[in-house]
Structure 1
Amino acid sequence: MQRAKQTERRADVAVIGGGVIGITTAICLELRGYSTAIYTAKIPFRDEPSPEFATPYAAASIKPASVTMSRQQRALAISQEIFGFLADTGSMGVRQQPHFVLHEEDHSDPEYADTVSGFCRISEIEQYPHRPNANAVFGWRFNAYFAELPVYIARCYALYESLGGVVHERSLTRETCRNLPSDVLVNCAGIGSQEIFDDQRPWMIHVGHQVLVDGLPLIRTDSGDLFSYNYTPHPDAVADGFAGEVYAYPRMDTLVLGGSRLPVALEDDWDGHIPGVSRSVGDVEVPARIVTINDELLDSYTGISIETGNLAGRYGFRPVRDPDGDGVRIERESLDGRPVIHNCGHGGAGVTLSWGSAVKACELVTEVADPAPTPLSVSREFTFARRLATRIRSDYDFGR
């Protein structure tokens, strides 16, 4: 990874934040023809994780998520297309797999039914994960793109370096941002942006718990496909304190189980309280349903009991901006007369909306600074970036 050892070179755009939103936006800007530099205190999956740095905790499915965002369906469609392109390369840690959204109460088709690939309602209960004592299961399946996040983030950083991007590893404050050597600032700092930039809209965090399970076979359907799911038991059909959605996502290095979404005010220190029944996994308290319900689902469907694996609990903070209003912040303002483009506040939808958000942020950059696109010079392993650059430079139009 390139590091500034002495004087930092001037860049067209300084990208603040090195999570999935930051690295995706920086790549998009480089492909559009801007010189960029990323400023970040941590590199995901290389530096020690902390709950405040959301990216390493992402389940990393590219599917619709609960978030408020202007023109969200357009952002999702762009992200779906680019993740499909990256999956086709076979080298970026992205694949497509069946994903099930299952409930023990009937639900109407979701708004995204026409956006995702292969959407269909489920029919035979035995073909899908379900609790053994469930009377009925409703829902749908579709083909979801999925990022093996440790691999995907590392490959994104390698691509960024190949494009000429530079990473400066240091923390920033409001004052040090004023001195960054660039014409434009792009704020992708997530929850940390609150300490750097003013925002009139409210922020909060959603605490999410996960259990990582090592030492198990990969979970597969009867036809041999890797699969993932979100499952919501009927609240009257489970023991008191066990109600709520759970999920399972297989990675090559571990099985990721969740979930929870506990709202906490940004100004409050979360005291660790978990509604309902909790369980200690390692030295971390997590909602007990994450283990109990998922174990029921996977044991009955695949014959794999997660209790036979090595379990580790953890929790992270999703930065959520103005959930009842404007939502995700993608807009332009200025700091001491210099343009600032904000791209932050994605909550649990950072991976899902990353490329669509990056395209929108790039459009806002072009309103204040002209790119200078040139033929790309990249290493042989990233020659596909030339085709991606052609697409991003000429065809995408996020619109208003």
Structure 2
Amino acid sequence: MNLADMLSYADIGQLSRIATTYRCECNGHSKNELIQSILQAVGRREVFEAQIGSMKLEDLRFMNSLLFDPRDAFSLEELIARVQQSKFGDVQPVPESSAHPTAQAKDAKTKRTGTKRTKAAKNQPIPETGPRETISRFKQYGWLFNGFTGPNRYLFQLPADLKIRFRETLERKFSAQLSYADDDPQAYRDEQQLLGSDVSEMLTFIYQNEVQLTSEGAMYKRGVLQIIDRLGVRELLPARGEWRFGYGRRMKEYPNRMSFIYDYCYFNGWISETGLVLSLTSEGMKRQAELRPEQPDKLYRFWLRLYKNAIPNLRSLVHWIDKLSTRWVSADSLKHALTPFIKPYYYDNAETIFEQRLSGMMLHLGLIRIGEHHELGRVIRMTPLGRAVIAGLNLEDEEAIVLD
């Protein structure tokens, strides 16, 4: 639903709070006048952008986490979790029992003295704090609405038309920070279709060879190097003692791209680690016999699922790279614009996540090209395949992929 529809379902109390936030001058007892005044205020671009410009960074992160989510409704628990994820410091969730320490202290004093609280004190509202205060503030702006129930719970909605306006406003904000190239780079790297072909190549190698495993279930170095030699992209082995976790079950033992291919085959049930030997399952034998590349959209969806624990807002970051890289853009300026929205993950800081986990893997997935420009240095641009995949187009028919 759009904002106008949600306002029509809101009660006059909520409408009055929203109207007060936007300083609307109207008859506060007329629901129709309240709705029209709010729509006029929110509809003014300068008012809307001023509200966005005055938001704290953690509020922008919270809003950004909702903009590209395909769902249209969220539970209170989900919103609270997203508010907490938007605080990049060591913020611990506040237990419900300790959310209002002042009130708790008063209750304790009442119990000790044995005095009764007055009726007025009982009815006095306790102000919201923490994540609930953020959600309450977004409701006062008319950006979140609640009131309809799912399975035994209240759900919150973000108006569909405001979602679009938020995206457009943030896109202008990000674009103002970017440096775009006027011409093509001297050279660029493009890995479209390579990853899908290498999935088939790994299955063929395992089919043709007896691959021995260590007691921990990893391939020996020789086997890893043999597979790397057959893949379309050469990678270096991980350095000894390097901390590598959070991006797949075999990230510790294998290079980034190869570990992704291995995990993809494993989670699809095509390979089996049994008896210290890596072999194909019956389903893997059928898949290997087809000798066809894996579809890019399937690899992309698996990547989102595999990396989302380490990068909770991965989907929104990918969408921003898609929107901001329709032409060659400086990688450094794009990184500078997006790193405030990337939460560090243990030993990976925001810059490392952008360079290796985002742009590096998007290159391997064929979603972007990376080039070297004589003025801007490293530059990035979306591929036609990348735009189609992120837009959610069905790529089962390979002939439907239009390349430059």
TM-score, normalization: structure 2?
0.21
TM-score of the two chains, using structure 1 as the length reference = 0.22
Higher helix residue share: 2
Structure possessing the higher relative contact order (Cα contacts under 8 Å, 6 or more residues apart): 1
Larger Rg: 2
